[in-house]
Amino acid sequence: MYCVKKINSDLYWVGASDRRLALFENVYPIPRGVSYNAYVLMDEKTVLLDTVDRSVSDQFFENVEHVLGDRRLDYVIVNHMEPDHAATLAEVIRRWPEVKVVCNAKTVPMIKQFFTFDIDSRVVLVKEMEMFCTGRHTLTFVMAPMVHWPEVMVTYDTTDKTLFSADAFGTFGAINGNLFADEVNFERDWLHDARRYYTNIVGKYGNQVMALLKKASAIEIKTVCPLHGPVWRENIGWFIDKYVKWGSYTPEDKGVVIAYASIYGNTENAANILASELAERGVKDIRMYDVSAAHASEIISEAFRVSHVVLCAPTYNGGIFVNMENLLHDLVAHGLQNRTFALVQNGTWAPVSGNQMRKLLEGLKNTTILEKTVTLRSSVKDAQLSEIAELADAIAAGIKA
Ligand code: FEO
C-alpha cells in the first residue's frame, strides 16, 4: 500500500525508509535507519525528482503510481547518480517508457556506466540556471559538483521557492511519520546523526559545500527537500548555519574529544587522568572514545564538532595501534582543519606511535599539534602525572582563549 506525504498543493514525498540496513554504504552504522527521499511534482507535466535505493523500491513505486493516478510520468530529474538515489532509474524507464530524463552532461556517462537503457534518445540536458517550465512551476538547476559526487546538481523550484538539495541537508535516520523537521525535535533527536552523516559522507568536500551555500544564499528558499531525512520549511537558517560551520571546518563547540586505544588499560588510564585534569580546569565538554569500541564515524563526527582532539595510542608492531591508525587515516581522508591536536603515546620498549601519529596529522591543513607528546613506558608513573597536567593546562588555556 502507498505511504505518501503531501508537502504542498503540487508536491508529494514518495520516498521510503529502511530500518533493516545495518551499514549505510556498507560502512556507517545506522541504528536509526535511513530514508531515501524522492518527490513528485504534479503540474501540467508530471515530474519525479530522483528515485530511491533498491531496498525500498516496492514502496517507492506504489507511492509514485498512487500520486500519478491515471497520468503518465513525463520527466524524471536526476540530481545525483549514487545508487541510493538512482538504483531504480532503469525500472522507472521500464514502467514509463516515454519518460524523459532531465540531467546535466556529467550525469549521462554515469547513467551509461550503471545501466544499459538508451539514455541518448530520452535525455534533456540542462545547464547551470537553465529554466525548465512544467506548467505552473518553473524549475532551474544549480550545479553542485562533489556534494557529493561530480555530477551532483540541485533543483530549485522558482515558483514555490523549494530547493531539492540532493545529499546536502540530508541525515541518517528513518522518517517516523513526521516528515518535516519542524514536527520533530531536530536538535535533540537528529542533529547528532545529521552531523555524522555530513562529516563522514561530504566532510572532505568543504570547499564545494561552501560554494553551493554561496550560490544558495542568492536565492529565496522556503522549503528544502533533501534526499535523506526531514524536509525543512521553518528555521532553515539554523541548519544552514551548521552547514557553514561544517563546510568551513569551524568548530561548533569549544570542547575536547579524547580518542584512545588501549590494549591492557594503561593508555586508557592516562586518558582518564587527562580528562579528569581537564575537568578540574573547568572544561565541561569532554567526550572520550575507545577506538576499538566506538565506530570511527562517531569519532570523526565529534572531531568536526569540537575544537580540540587528543589521540592516545600504544605502539604496536613498531607503529600505531591498528584501530588508531585506521582512525587517523580516516581523519586525514576527511580533511579536517582548524583543530588543535594533542598526543599521548605508550610503548614498553620502543614508543614510536606519537611520532607516527604526528606525521599523519601533519597532512591536515591549518592544524596545531601541541609540541609535547606525553610518553608512557607501559603505565602512568609519577613523572607522567606532571606531563599530563601540563597537557591539560595547554588544552584548557586553548579552550578558554
Ligand atoms: Fe545519498 Fe551521495 O548519496
Tens of pLDDT, residues 351-395:
999 999 999 999 999 999 999 999 999 999 999 999 999 999 999
How far lies 28's CA from each of 17, 104, 226, in Å? 16, 29, 19
Mean pLDDT over residues 335-356, rounded? 98
Mean pLDDT over residues 312-339, rounded? 97
- pLDDT grade for 148, boundaries at 50, 70 and 90: confident
The CB of 167 under 6 Å from ligand 1? The reply is yes
Dump pLDDT digits (tens) for 230-239: 999 999 999 9
How far lies 229's CA from each of 17, 20, 123, 181, 355, in Å? 9, 16, 29, 8, 41
The residue assigned the cell 530520452 is 122
Mean pLDDT over residues 324-335, rounded? 97
Among residues of the chain, what percentage have pLDDT more than 70? 100
Distance separating alpha carbons of residues 65 and 54, to the nearest angstrom: 17
What length is written for the chain?
A: 401
The CB of 35 under 6 Å from ligand 1? The reply is no
- For residue 276, what are the contacts with CB-CB under 8 A and spacing of at least 6? none
pLDDT at 286: 98
The CB of 53 under 6 Å from ligand 1? The reply is no
Which residue has the CA at smallest separation from atom 1 of ligand 1? 167
Distance separating alpha carbons of residues 19 and 193, to the nearest angstrom: 15
Dump pLDDT digits (tens) for 97-109: 999 999 999 999 9
Mean pLDDT over residues 19-26, rounded? 98
Cell numbers given for 21 = 540496513
Whole-prediction pTM: 0.96
Q: Is 60:87 a contact under the CB 8 Å cutoff?
A: no
Amino acid in position 24: F
User: CB 186: neighbour CB atoms within 10 A?
Assistant: 20
Cα-to-centroid distance, 84 and ligand 1 (Å): 6
Q: Is 60:38 a contact under the CB 8 Å cutoff?
A: yes
How far lies 58's CA from each of 10, 47, 63, 82, in Å? 23, 19, 9, 19
pLDDT at 214: 95
The CB of 227 under 6 Å from ligand 1? The reply is yes
Among residues of the chain, what percentage have pLDDT more than 90? 99
| 310, 315, 321, 326: CA torsion to nearest 10 | 60
Distance separating alpha carbons of residues 102 and 76, to the nearest angstrom: 6
pLDDT at 173: 98
Q: For ligand 1, what atom is nearest to the CA of residue 202? A: 2
Cα-to-centroid distance, 197 and ligand 1 (Å): 10
The overall average pLDDT reported for the chain is 97
Dump pLDDT digits (tens) for 251-291: 999 999 999 999 999 999 999 999 999 999 999 999 999 99
3-state helix, strand, coil in the chain (%, to 5): 35, 25, 40
pLDDT at 308: 98
User: CB 11: neighbour CB atoms within 10 A?
Assistant: 24
